[in-house]
Structure formats: C-alpha cells, structure tokens
C-alpha cells in the first residue's frame, strides 16, 4: 500500500497556472510594439497598464530605424470637387471654381479643425484671392493661387497645426508659358514629410524661341525646403532642367498635355493622341518621353479619363496602368516606363464593370453604354463614374472588389487622404518626476508613480 501510494504521488502532475498576457517578457513586447503602424494602436497599448506604458514609451522602444518607421492614421479626405462631372446650365457660360471639402473618416472627428481659413490672401492685383488644392501628402497640403502671366503663388500648410509656409518664386517670376503642375515630395531617403522637410517638383511649359506660335518647351524645377543650418546643401529652386536628349517640345502647345497620374516616383502627362506620355521624375525633375501601345491606353477620346498610372503601394519597381475599354477595366504593368526598359506591357487583371456593379445601390442598366471615366486614383484603388452621369464607385485593384459606401465616393474630383505619419511620442510618467528633475518624466523612472 505504501508503494502504491508513493507511485501515485509521483505520477500526479504539478498544477500549472494558465498563461496570460502578463507572462510575455519585456523584450518580446518591445518587438511587438515596434510593428505597430497606427497612432491609435500605439496609444491604446500604452494605456493598458503601467508596465506596457513603460515599454511603449519613446525612450524604451527607440531603435536605429524608429524615425523611419511608417505610421499612418487617416483622419479624413480632402475632396477637390470637379464641376465637369456635375454639368449644369451655368457650366457652359462661365467656368466654375473647384471647391475644397474635408470629409472626416469618423463622426468623432470635428471637420472644423481642418478648415483652410488660416491661409493668407494671395498677393497682387491679379490674384484671385482663393487657393486651389493641387496636392497632398500625409499631413501636408500644397495650394496654388494662379495669376495670369506670373508663376503661381504657392503655400505649403499643415491644417492640424494651422501652420503654413510661403514658397518664394524663382527669379523669373514672369513668363509667357503654362504651369503643368506642382507636386509635393519628401527630401531625403527616410523620415516622414513635415513642414520643415519637403520638396516641390514643378513642370513648366514656355514658348519656344525660333519656333512657330503654339510650340512650347518643357522644363522642370525642384524646390528643396529645410530650415537653414541643417545641412550644407543648397536649398530653394534649382536651375531649369530639360530632357536628357535636349529640348522637349510640345508641338500642340501646353493645352495638349493632360495629367494622367503618378507612380513609383514619376509624374505623367498624356500629350498626344497617339499615346505619347511625358514623364517627370520627382525630386530631380528629369524629363523623358515614351509611347503607350494602343491596346494599353484604350480609346483616344477623353484620354485623360480613360487610362491612368497608379501606385498600388507595393515595394516592387513595376509601373502599372489602369485602362478602360468599353465597360472593361484592365490593369497593365511594365518594369520600366521609359523606352529604354525591356519587356512589354503585360495585362495582369481585368474586370467587367457592368457585371461587377450590378446590385449596388443606384445601379442602372444604361450606365455602361459608353466608356466610364476615371475620376481619381490612389494607392491600390481607382474611382470611376459612368459617362452618362455621376455615380461614383471604387475598384480595389488588389482584389477587384467594387464598393460604393467609401467616403472617397461622396464627391467627384481628386481626393487627397489626410493622414498622420510622424511617430507618436509616449512618456513613461504623466505626473511630475519625484527624483528632482524639472518638468515631466522622460526616462524610465523608479519613482512611486512608476511602480
């Protein structure tokens, strides 16, 4: 009996407590917190308990690539309403201005904090007094105030902090040409774009000397903005840059160039009816020309609204084009967008919009009798509308899913998502430090509040 009791006592397993989240070691939690890409997720993790707050603090989680870690929290979308998609009786009499509307991503976000009423009025008697939103990256917006015969007035602003910076024009402020576009970019290879670190890529068309009337020469300038003393590099506007093979001319004038998207660090314009495309490299202003095959650019009428270069957000170097042919959406890709790149444009996806949109709210059978128009495009999506009327819907290019309820489908025109990208700053302790330091705690404290 004693041997049996001893054997049963040895065979009895020890009772183990259930594993909880508190058993995760600090170094593993540190690795997990580094992978958070949302400001909301980082703040919620820091609010769980004092231990998680200490690990999620900036001083503890900091590592060599922390300042280059990508955070993205979308607060809403800025819509530039295009009146051409909503024609009315006045549209043929006088051109209507494109108004800017902010649509918050959540009902808890107050849209009044993102108004642009803090911007200054445009200088000059020929100024319209109204700013036009031309580009947006992260939490930074670029606005222009066009003046006849002058380079447009430019302002870079951050609505959430109500700060703005006037961009001084280059020396030749008066010219007889046309500005094809100005676009925001990031200076350097890392870090988030902010009010003290951005670039502008400007593409201009000016009259060509020695040519017939209507012929324009395309040049590009790059503006680099950073506070003085940060680097020894030259800041401000660069000298005019032309194509690598000499002057690049638009034989039909600047009105023949139409913006057709941006992708993989390049900006594109369609300039001919045969599919010729002008490309400008962001940050350097290098210009080039190439031609899209007929099966890629689709139908030629309203060419700027039937094909578009898009950036799907993937890390590869593949340039993608969304093309419309009748009611079919097709996606093509190529490794290089220049003539020197090898390979051909390869179709990778296609979708019949008439079948894919059937069953959505407001759908009509007559919507796809003509080729739909591309309203805007972003990373991984494209917004379209039928040619017969304004009925916006989004196609997610990765999954080819169609939706109508997204906030970017509310107004017709270009859409710029407004998002926070700067890394969050989390302190270890909220109360004042009891170890004699001035101000709030900024290190790992051993005071009573941290225990």
pLDDT at 75 over 50: yes
Tell me, what's the pLDDT at 126?
Answer: 46
Query: Measured between alpha carbons, how far is residue 200 from residues 68, 156, 239, 432 in Å?
Result: 21, 10, 13, 43
Question: Which of 96-105, 193-202, 227-236, 335-344 is least confident?
Answer: 335-344
pLDDT in tens, 364-419: 888 888 888 899 988 889 999 988 888 999 999 888 899 998 888 888 889 999 98
Between 83 and 92, residue with greater pLDDT: 83
Whole-number average pLDDT of the chain: 75
Tell me, what's the pLDDT at 230?
Answer: 56
pLDDT in tens, 117-136: 898 876 554 444 578 899 99
Tell me, what's the pLDDT at 91?
Answer: 42
pLDDT tier, 428 (very low <50, low <70, confident <90, very high otherwise): low
> Maximum distance among all alpha carbons in the chain?
116
Q: What is the mean pLDDT of residues 146-155?
A: 74
Do residues 385 and 53 make contact, with C-beta atoms less than 8 angstroms apart? no
Q: Which residues, 6 or more positions from 13, have their beta carbon under 8 angstroms from its beta carbon?
A: none
Pair of tokens at residue 1: 């009996």
Question: Which of 120-129, 220-229, 260-269 is least confident?
Answer: 120-129
Query: Measured between alpha carbons, how far is residue 230 from residues 189, 200, 226, 235, 237 in Å?
Result: 16, 18, 7, 10, 17
pLDDT tier, 302 (very low <50, low <70, confident <90, very high otherwise): very low
Closest CA to 409 of 361, 353, 351: 361
Cα-to-chain-centroid distance, residue 243: 26
**Domain extents for the chain?**
22-66+426-450, 79-86+298-413, 116-291
Tell me, what's the pLDDT at 53?
Answer: 80
């Amino acid at each position: 009996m004693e041997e049996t009791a001893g054997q049963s006592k040895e065979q009895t397993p020890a009772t183990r407590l259930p594993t909880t989240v508190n058993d995760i070691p600090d170094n593993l939690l540190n690795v997990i917190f580094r992978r958070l890409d949302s400001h909301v997720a980082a703040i919620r993790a820091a609010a769980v308990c004092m231990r998680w707050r200490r690990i999620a603090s900036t001083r503890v989680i900091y590592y060599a690539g922390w300042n280059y870690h990508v955070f993205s929290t979308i607060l809403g979308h800025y819509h530039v309403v295009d009146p051409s998609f909503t024609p009315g009786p006045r549209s043929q009499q006088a051109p209507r201005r494109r108004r800017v509307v902010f649509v918050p991503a959540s009902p808890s976000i107050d849209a009044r904090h993102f108004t642009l009423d803090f911007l200054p009025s445009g200088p000059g008697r020929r100024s319209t007094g109204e700013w036009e939103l031309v580009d947006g990256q992260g939490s930074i917006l670029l606005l222009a105030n066009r003046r006849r015969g002058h380079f447009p007035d430019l302002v870079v602003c951050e609505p959430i902090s109500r700060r703005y910076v006037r961009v001084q024009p280059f020396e030749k402020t008066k010219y007889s040409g046309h500005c094809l576009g100005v676009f925001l970019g990031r200076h350097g290879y890392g870090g988030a774009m902010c009010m003290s670190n951005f670039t502008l890529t400007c593409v201009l068309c000016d009259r060509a000397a020695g040519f017939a009337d209507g012929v324009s020469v395309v040049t590009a300038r790059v503006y680099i903005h950073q506070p003085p003393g940060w680097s020894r590099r030259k800041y401000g506007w660069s000298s005019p840059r032309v194509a690598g093979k000499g002057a690049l001319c638009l034989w039909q004038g600047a009105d023949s160039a139409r913006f057709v998207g941006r992708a993989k660090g390049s900006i594109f314009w369609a300039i001919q009816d045969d599919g010729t495309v002008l490309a400008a490299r962001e940050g350097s202003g290098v210009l080039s020309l190439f031609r899209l095959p007929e099966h890629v650019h689709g139908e030629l009428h309203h060419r700027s609204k039937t094909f578009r270069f898009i950036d799907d957000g993937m890390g590869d170097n593949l340039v993608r084009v969304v093309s419309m042919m009748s009611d079919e959406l097709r996606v093509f890709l190529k490794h290089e967008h220049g003539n020197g790149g090898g390979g051909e444009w390869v179709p990778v996806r296609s979708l019949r919009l008439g079948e894919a949109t059937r069953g959505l709210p407001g759908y009509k059978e007559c919507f796809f009798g003509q080729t739909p128009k591309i309203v805007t495009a972003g990373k991984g999506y494209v917004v379209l509308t039928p040619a017969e009327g304004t009925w916006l819907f989004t196609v997610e290019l990765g999954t080819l899913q169609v939706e109508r309820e997204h906030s970017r489908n509310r107004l017709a025109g270009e859409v710029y998502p407004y998002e926070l990208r700067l890394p969050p700053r989390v302190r270890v302790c909220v109360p004042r430090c009891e170890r004699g330091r001035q101000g709030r705690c900024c290190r790992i404290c051993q005071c009573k509040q941290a225990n």
